[in-house]
Amino acid sequence: MQQQTSIHGMWSSRLAFILAASGSAVGLGNIWRFPYLTSDNGGGAFVLIYLACIALVGLPIMAAEILLGRQGRLSPINTLRKITSEGGHSRFWVVIGWIGLASAVMILSFYSVIGGWTLNYAFDYLLQLLGMAPAITDPGATFGAMLASPGSLVLWHTVFMLLTVGVVALGVEKGLERAVTWLMPLLFLILLGLLGYGVSTGKVGQAFEFLFVPDWSEVKGSTVLAALGQAFFSLSLGMCGIMTYGAYLPQGISIPRVSITVALTDTSVALLAGLAIFPVVFAFGIDPAGGGPGLIFTALPLAFNDMPFGIAYAVAFFVLLAVAAWTSSISLLEPPTAFLVEKCKLTRGKAAMVSAVAIWALGLVTALSFNVWQQVRVMGRDLQGAIEYLASDLMLPIGGLLIAVFTGWFLSRDTSRGELSHLSDGAFAGWLWLVRVVAPALVLLVLARAFL
């Protein structure tokens, strides 16, 4: 008989789960990486390919993660132990939980450092807005000075981890749910405000064309792989955060419907971010090829100094980035916290603190990789790059592949059919085909790209 509730608590509603799962999916990559990838890979053609990848890979694997979580009602590792034990499956499949847990820990360790950057810049621009700090006249030098300062990076990394552990320690209802209930609407409000400013520059038409008008001549094999990778990683698949959140999903709520809603929310944020950022980029003559940190921390600050209400815009922009990072980091800290509660019988507060301290300590490797240890190389990469490559490029797709194979080929059909009871027989057969054949094949392409 399936357990109806989790010992960790339950989401109070379908909306609460959607906000939490969307918060997990929406992160820093949505704000700058997706628009940049779109512009660099054929504009609207890339968007269409990306949406196809969401439908063929993202949604099937997300539904699989959620149904596994709801079936087990425990942390990912113990969920897989329970399901394999009750179903008579090989204990090998528990490795899915271990890969997800390790991925979450490693990703949060460097994600927290980058989240600290956004807090640092938001604070600096707030001081400028209040007339308590001089303007940033040389953004490149300012960014370089921040990276060169171990003390500054560790300080803001610490602040970001404290914000994260403060939410997770309070539990599902009082912590996670209450936080995302406020943070996700705040994120959308700030994003819409920035979008409104972007429209006022008169360059939104150029930005729209830049992002959404298909240029099929730019589409090649690497474009498809980039869209597939973005679809996979933007939905936070493979790190078991979605599986953990699924453990708190009440019975009777449609898994396919919430999966589709989360995917649409995640994609909408990415597209809105592009329409908010690129009008400013074009209005002030910035080269959009400077994607990622180069665009955010060195190019855009030049525009902030010259544009009307630019410093207020900068504060809102970096608060937006911080909120996006915060909602993602909460979902990354939840799996190890839930596991320690179950394994070590710790209170939730102690489990969250132990997890956070361990991840914070690992994050010091990233913080020091930009300065004290910048000459150290592992696998031809700096320390932060090596951690990100191992976790994001290798472990996440491997975890997603194993989730698809286990759910599609080994989990009993009655179990998956029961969890996806809102689907018609034809739709369920379609999902089963996608999760058995299409999703694994395409994820293998992502892995091939990582190794080549």
């694997």: which residue's tokens? 61
* Averaged pLDDT score across all residues of the chain: 91
Contact between 407 and 67 under an 8 Å Cβ cutoff? The reply is yes
Give the span between the Cα atoms of 102 and 57, in whole angstroms. 22
Instruction: Enumerate the H helices of 169-254 as residue ranges.
Output: 178-200, 204-212, 221-234, 241-246
- 187 Cβ partners below 8 Å, 6+ apart? 26, 269, 320, 323, 324, 327
Q: Which tokens hold the place of 63? A: 């539904």
Q: Is the pLDDT confidence value at 76 over 90?
A: yes
Reported as a single tens digit per residue, the pLDDT across 319-373 is: 999 999 999 999 999 999 999 999 999 999 999 999 999 999 999 999 999 999 9
CA distances to 161, 174, 280 from 167, in Å: 10, 8, 34
Q: Is the pLDDT confidence value at 220 over 90?
A: no
> What pLDDT score does 295 carry?
77
Question: What is the value of pTM for the model shown?
Answer: 0.93
Q: How confident is the model at residue 239 (pLDDT cuts 50, 70, 90)?
A: confident
> What pLDDT score does 221 carry?
79
